[in-house]
Structure 1
Amino acid sequence: MSSMNVKTPDILVSEVGPRDGLQSISQAMPTDAKLRWIAALAGAGLREIEVGSFVSPKLLPQMADAAEVVAGAIKISDLTVLALVPNLKGAERAIAAGVHKLTMPVSASRQHSLANIGKTPEEAIAEVAKVRTLVDTLPQDQRPALEVGISTAFGCTMEGPVPEDRVIEMAELLAKAGADSVGLSDTTGYANPAQVKRLFKRLFAGIGAKAGGAHLHNTRGQGLANVVAALDAGVTTFDSSQGGLGGCPYAPGATGNIVTEDLVFLLESMGLSTGIDIDRLIAARAIIQAALPGEPLYGHVPDAGLPKGFVPAALRSDA
């Protein structure tokens, strides 16, 4: 962990590049490079990393080594290892691999849900309940946490606007189905700050302590503005991808996930500690560049550098 961790960080930055980023690009990163990258991210102070997805290797060959990556990642101290699972079968494989946390995507858009996982939203919620039952059969100290992200919560490329009432109703149903936390995902990069603040406030009002984090995309340049809006609503966990890796299949040439380096700088510059050493974080980009030659990486902070005299939040007298 970073030496600047003098207290528990204010904000949890959950890195999703090794899963969301890598599964979105055609090149496959070698397993040993994935593990070096994950170790470098953890060394920079990342405390939570989504390292893979337990789906069919035929569908996502980039994730075929998920169990091997988990096996390596769980050896890193002070790191919570996440994996995405679309269904009960995936959860069984992830649990066998030893993950600390399962994350399940459940789409608020019926068309997106059917296209993405071949299930209706109602069937996806029922699948979460099945995974909860499975987790509860395990010894208490071996149960991974179960989080759900509501995909297309802010709009869908197929359906267009998604009713906010539907999103909150789904969150309440997922909480009852046994999710430990339910977050909101701007899968398509449609969200705006007013919408983000409003919907997260409703999420906290609806499910209280089970309200989870924000998974935001920068497809239309709104990513960091949406982070500030979510902060105003009380969100303390944010997903991001180093270098904005993966792009966005819905908008060619546009970045997809918000860039971890830019997110960390935003938070730290606002006086919110993340426990992450930005210089070491930026240095980890070299592993991606070597393993995925030619893959575009994004980020204003890596391009421009840190401002002269920049002091991390944990070391500031006004923090």
Structure 2
Amino acid sequence: MAQSDFNVRAAGDLLGRLLAESPAYRARWRALSSRVTGELNQSAIAKVIEHYLWVQDPTAAEPTARMLKDRVGRALTGRNLSLETLTWFMEAFEMTKTDRTHLREIYDGRHGPASEIAHTLCSRREMIRGQRHRTVNLVERYDVRDGWLRRRRTVHTIRAIEDGVDIYLFNHEPEASRIEVAYGGRLGPGHEYGGGLRSVEIELDRPLQKDETAALEYSAVFDRRSVGLTEVRRAVFARAENVDIAVEFSGRIPQRAWWCLWADHLEGSPVDEGPVVLINSAMRKFVRSMEDTVVGFRWEW
């Protein structure tokens, strides 16, 4: 079955973001890269696939390294992506069931990403710092095990909108027991606001000049106070692009779940919501852009 150009481009875009932002996938191709750079290295990615094909059948006549590099380039730019090539990527990088499912849904046209969500916030809460960046990519994963929200892990690429951006302010749930920064910066002071909102400053590895980008990975770790939580919210103020949010369950699985929009960070009922279906015990949503809104999921056991 022929794929539409839109589905191929969307699948290629997601594939590129997964390879760039997932620590496990990124480590595979970076280990084969001779260049230290934050950008995707098509030659290194092709080497990972080449090794996978060789392991499958060392005697087979497989594509040359140059042919594989060209094939990787066409896939990641959305010019051409066959099911065979997509399968090579998924197998060579040992992708998770959730990521495989999402890729196939988009490739097959069964996952319609929302184009834009904006202006559901009734009023902004006062922050300790003004926002001096825009979000280029945001991948957020919530781990819920046996009814307990254990971790919220975020891979985040930001772009400075003025010179001298040296802080990213991470607003997080009051139930979080600690914040960890895996790369891109180090923990700075924390802040508490009225109504239960909390935040922590992440001091970037180096100040950004206008239009420069920085990649961050940080996590909120929760104690047992989070056992009763049945929703997760992500607030977005200035424009954020390529937002990918998922909640992954193990042990106890919800009976029903909804994708929601709220008018506040923590309080009130959703202003809009729609049912979602769990696939491989996970619910997921990709939005091309959002601004002045609070999005997330809620569920019932």
Q: Same fold (TM over 0.5)?
A: no
Structure ID, larger Rg: 2
Instruction: Give TM-score scaled by structure 2 length.
Output: 0.31
More strand by share: 2
